[in-house]
Structure 1
Amino acid sequence: MNPSIFHPLPGRAVFETALGFMALAWSKTGLVRLCLPEKTRDAAERRLLRLAGQATAAGDHTPPPWITALIADIRRYADGEDVDFSDVPVDLAGIDDFRRDIYAAARNLHYGETTTYGGLAEKAGRKGLFRETGSALGANPIPLVIPCHRILAAGGKIGGFSATGGSNMKEKMLVLEGVRVGPPPSTQASFGF
């Protein structure tokens, strides 16, 4: 383990991946925040501090083994490996029941599997609430572990994405998983005259 990847305050880590610098914060019960790739370590740390704040600064200075394993898994994912994050403990304290339902349904999507906002709402038992589902995913504190990038707009369109890089980052993650997004390629008929 490289100790230089860990923030001097406990409960946080900033680390480099093939996609860029990522950051995460944890509590005693699970992952609280994950920030998708930024271009620099400082940018990742600033984003994490802005989103997670100082609340994660108390506790032991040594990351728990599951955090060390999670960072290794995130790096493997960024290198293009099929990684399952469904067993990562998450701390969703303060999150309302609707968002918890949406996040739980999203966590059931496997690597390379996509659905629409409406499809996810239905899987979560919230049929018809596709706009609300989009809002819940836009507020997702733990992207990748709660794989909101796997949720597409109707018609297989990319849809929005609140991480740095927006829909370009979403598409990059989907391509990494072997998912082709967008309209099918146009084909030109050959008549052989």
Structure 2
Amino acid sequence: MVGRGYAIFDTAIGRCGIVWSETGVMAVQLPEVREIDTRRRIFQIHPDAREQRPSDNAELAIDGIAALLHGSDPDFSDVSLDAGGLPAFDRRVYEATCAIPRGETRTYHEIAKTLGASGAVHSVAQAIVKNPFMLIVPCHRVLEAGNYTDRLSPYGGVISKRRLLSLEGAHPIASKTLFEVLLPVAPPRAPS
């Protein structure tokens, strides 16, 4: 194999994509509405990747992703990642994220605190949003304060954190609507 490869593969939620190098998995793309859009997203982010048969490491990741999206609890510890171009802080965030057990969630603040950087909540959120290793690094388990679900990374396709968490048995709160932010719910009245 020369350079970067990619493959499109079937899962319980649609056709996903994976990009790899000789070092390891570089990105996982969850399905877009149409497969052509999934491919387009891969080309936008990795224009030099060529479609080919998955490497052994990519195949191991594909098997785990397919199992996870079918409701199983795969072990990704043997999957090598190519995180060479990522900032050291982001890699630390991803390591902490991988330690979150299936069916549980953490907030950006909790991850920052785990890293000994409680003032870096925004930086944690940015790292989670940029996570290229969807599902292998379970960024869907990291939520904003109040356990509100929010958007996934650019690799997230049309699948929501809420749906991914429901596959794992977690039940987060839906994102706040603009109405809820502007007009908070009044506290209940005391009985007369």
TM-score normalised by structure 2 residue count: 0.80
Q: Is the 8 A contact 2:26 2:132 kept in 1?
A: yes
Structure number with the bigger relative contact order (C-alpha 8 A, sep ≥ 6) is 2
Does residue 48 of the first structure (1) align with residue 51 of the second (2)?
no
Name whichever of 69-78 and 29-38 sits farther off: 69-78
Q: Which residue of 1 aligns with 2:165?
A: 174
4+ residue segments displaced more than 4 Å: none
Q: Which has the higher helix share?
A: 1
Alignment map for 1:62-81 (pairs within 5 Å): 62-81=53-72
How many residues end up aligned between the 2 structures?
Answer: 170
Aligned counterparts of 1:52 and 1:129: Cα–Cα separation in 2: 29
Matched residue SS, 2:169: coil
Q: Is the 8 A contact 1:115 1:151 kept in 2?
A: yes
TM-score normalised by structure 1 residue count: 0.80
Choose which of 157, 168, 172 in structure 2 pairs with 1:164.
157
Aligned counterparts of 1:86 and 1:119: Cα–Cα separation in 2: 23
Aligned counterparts of 1:66 and 1:84: Cα–Cα separation in 2: 13
Does residue 11 of the first structure (1) align with residue 2 of the second (2)?
no
Return the offset for 1:161. Answer: 2.2
Return the offset for 1:178. Answer: 0.1
- 5+ residue gaps in structure 2? 175-192
Aligned counterparts of 2:115 and 2:30: Cα–Cα separation in 1: 24
Calculate percent identity across the aligned residue pairs.
33
Q: Which residue of 2 aligns with 1:39?
A: 33
- 5+ residue gaps in structure 1? 1-8, 184-193
